[in-house]
Amino acid sequence: MSQPTQTQSNPRAVVIDSNILISICSREPTHQTAKSAFSDYAAKGWRFYAPGAILTEVLFILCKKLQDGLLTEGEHQKAVKAFNNYMKSINPAPQGDIGFILRAEEIRKGYSCLHSADGFFIALTEELAKGGPAELLTFDKRLVNVAASNAPTIIVNLLPS
């Protein structure tokens, strides 16, 4: 089934979860799956988005991988450079993240504090979906459940891990 043609004012949008870039940049076993999905969205003309939380989440995990000996210093430097390069093709929230604070907290309620950032990814996807097709790309099964409970209208593309 073919997808409807999108206009420039109403492009398809995909919100990239942190774990996608962590996988690609640190060359986790799932990195080819993530790269293929990223390339597929790009080839189909989807625009990439992420809330600002992606910056600290990815850098924190890359640092932890270095600290825990899962990456060498050289691998860590390559991963950070790759992350920087990928972020050049990922747009921030069109109206900024501040408008998502209350919605993100509403989504997080009933979950642990570890879900605080998840709310920003979900809220951004909700906002983008108001203007046309939007999806959230992730490896995180728990994010699927959080979205289903709090934002059942958004599409979450859960990649196999």
d(CA 91, CA 5): 21
* Long-range contacts of residues 31-39, Cβ cutoff 8 Å, at least 24 apart: 33/159, 33/160, 33/161, 34/139, 34/159, 37/137, 37/157, 37/159, 38/86, 38/137
Whether 100 shows a pLDDT value over 70: the answer reads yes
Whether 6 has a pLDDT exceeding 90, the answer reads: no
46-57 confidence digits (pLDDT tens): 999 999 999 999
H or E element: which one contains 142?
Answer: helix 141-150
Give the pLDDT of residue 114.
Answer: 84
Average pLDDT over residues 87-114: 94
pLDDT higher than 50, residue 126: yes
Q: What is the DSSP string of 73-130?
A: HHHHHHHHHHHHHHHTTEEPPTT-SGGGHHHHHHHHTTS-GGGHHHHHHHHHHHHHHT
> Mean pLDDT across the chain, nearest whole number?
93
Mean pLDDT of 19-24: 98
- pLDDT of 11 reads 81
Please name every residue paired with 15 in a beta bridge, in sequence order, or none if there are none. 49, 136
H/E run at residue 1: none
CA–CA distance, 55 with 111 (Å, rounded to integer): 22
Rounded to two decimals, the pTM is 0.91
- Please tell me the predicted confidence (pLDDT) of residue 2: 38
Cβ 141 vs Cβ 158: under 8 Å: yes
* pLDDT recorded at residue 7: 41
**Side chain identity, residue 91:** N
The answer, yes or no, to whether residue 8 has pLDDT greater than 60, is no
In the chain the domains, ranked by start, together with CATH numbers, are 13-158 (3.40.50.1010)
**pLDDT tens digits, residue range 51-89?**
999 999 999 999 999 999 999 999 999 999 999 999 999
So what's the pLDDT on residue 115?
84
Instruction: Summarize the confidence of residues 114-138 as an average pLDDT.
Output: 95
